[in-house]
Amino acid sequence: MSTRRSFVASSLAVAAVPLATRAQSATPAADLLPEIVIDLSGEPDNLTPALSYSTRDWSVMHSIYDSLVDFAPDGQILPQAAEVFESDDAITFRVRLRAGMIFHDGSPVTTAAITRNVEHIKSADSQISDLYQVITEVRQIDDLNAEIVCVEPSPWLPSQLVVWGVLLPEGFTDESLASAPIGSGPYILESWEQGSAITLVRNPDYHLGSPKGDPLAERVTYRFVPEAATRVADLTTGLAHLIDAVPKDQLGAVADGGNVAVSSPVLATAFIRIATDAAPFDEPRVCQAVNHAVDVQAIADALVSTEAKRLASVFPDARGLGFDASLSPFAYDPEKAKELLAEAGYADGFVTEAQITATSRTDVLEAVAEQLAAVGIKVNIVTSELATFNQDWSNTDAPALRYASWRPMYDPFTFVNLLVNSEGYLSRYSNPTADELIRSAAIEPATESRDAIYQELGRTLQDQPGFIYLWNLVTNVGVSSQIEGWSPRGDDYVLALRRTQ
């Protein structure tokens, strides 16, 4: 029996999954609501696939596009637009597309759409372009069959294709990707009112039984509502049917309004990134000290969820590679923190800055800052718009600390290569031992060996921390009693779909 780990991590043999044909495409009218309104905590920053980096980007993007493969609820990789996706060596991936698929403009989906995606990602000024450079060729055998050929074993590639490997139509432009995307997914873009809402309509040609799920409504409107209390009020009054990012202290109000409060762990990690290329964080004892200074579990219990558990490293739980149950988190020990600071030459503490996005939980970072102040570290909080925040990852003039999260973490390849690898696009961390472990895991086709390598990386990241390790993420969502069959995804996309697999 294949476990999530053996299936997703190596992704060497994804069995053919029979999917519905276009003859089964029409969703039963009785199961469809006329419209669903989804309140998101913020507007997507970009719908261009190569430039989409957040769950609110991906929630809309994956409503419009289909990828070759998708994550199942348990984290396994399933064929999506592909009917077959398999490899014997993690170098050559064989793909057979489902027959009869069409883009929203009526043009046929062929293997040329795979080539277009690869070329788009590789040529873009994107945080993830380097990941696609391992692909040397897309061999288009015919309209439905292709081979994705890599320069070396790349067992991590399928998990990247889930997120960014969307099929693109002929004739797309940078402008059309950004403002008028055409995909082959379950919904079609109808309008985008900047700063207010995006409206989608159901794709009548979308197949039933997709691993992604079947449409819930004829029309879906994503509204951008940054205030949590307003989102909860919208759900209570019926103005919205799904709302994301419900604070823990407002889950009761969701239930009191006759709706359903859903709190579900997602395979994601929350952290405060430490820039170890800048003093005083270039001293490992300072990085250990800030981990000891914060009562992470108390903050999680009070502000996030009792399902959120303090992490020993960046790997959130046993569903993903790298998690080591035997590795204990840093103990909350302010006196130990003070000792380490004194040993490092900072007995009197220091002043630093921490960056956060405008839509993130400022109360969480304020709680961390308060506890750091108790050991002599004064933290000034800098709030940025998400686009600016994402541009500042490797900016040496940006604050040394930044509160962030990363999802999905089924396969940690992207995270560690971008944020931990000394040459990573988003990295301000350098550790030759970590670099070697990351490189070894990237080309190791055996799942158990990759898992062991990432566990060793977790131990390395405790010895020389590049983060204040916080908790596994828990998504809190409010769902209208009118909606049946919806459930949260492990990657935290908010899609107006009902999963049937």
**Worst-scoring range by mean pLDDT, 2-16, 269-283, 365-379?**
2-16
The CATH superfamily holding the domain 266-474 is Dipeptide-binding Protein; Domain 3 (3.10.105.10)
What angle, rounded to 10 degrees, do the helices at 284-293 and 334-343 form? 160
266-474 matches 4-221+480-498 in CATH topology: no
pLDDT digits (tens, 9 = 90+) for 340-373: 999 999 999 999 999 999 878 899 999 999 999 9
314: nearest Cα among 471, 484, 136: 471
Read off the pLDDT band of 98 (50, 70, 90). Answer: very high
Is the pLDDT at 387 greater than 90? The verdict is no
Is the pLDDT at 377 greater than 80? The verdict is yes
pLDDT digits (tens, 9 = 90+) for 30-81: 479 999 999 999 999 899 999 998 899 999 999 999 999 998 877 778 999 9
CATH 3.40.190.10 fits 4-221+480-498, yes or no: yes
pLDDT digits (tens, 9 = 90+) for 229-257: 999 999 999 999 999 999 999 999 999 99
Q: What is the pLDDT of residue 7?
A: 30
Mean pLDDT for 319-327 is 93
Read off the pLDDT band of 501 (50, 70, 90). Answer: low
Angle (CA) 296 413 495, round 5°:
75
Place of tokens 């001293």: 283
* CA 117 centroid distance within chain: 19
Q: Enumerate the domain spans of the chain.
A: 4-221+480-498, 266-474
* CA 274 centroid distance within chain: 20
Amino acid at 266: V
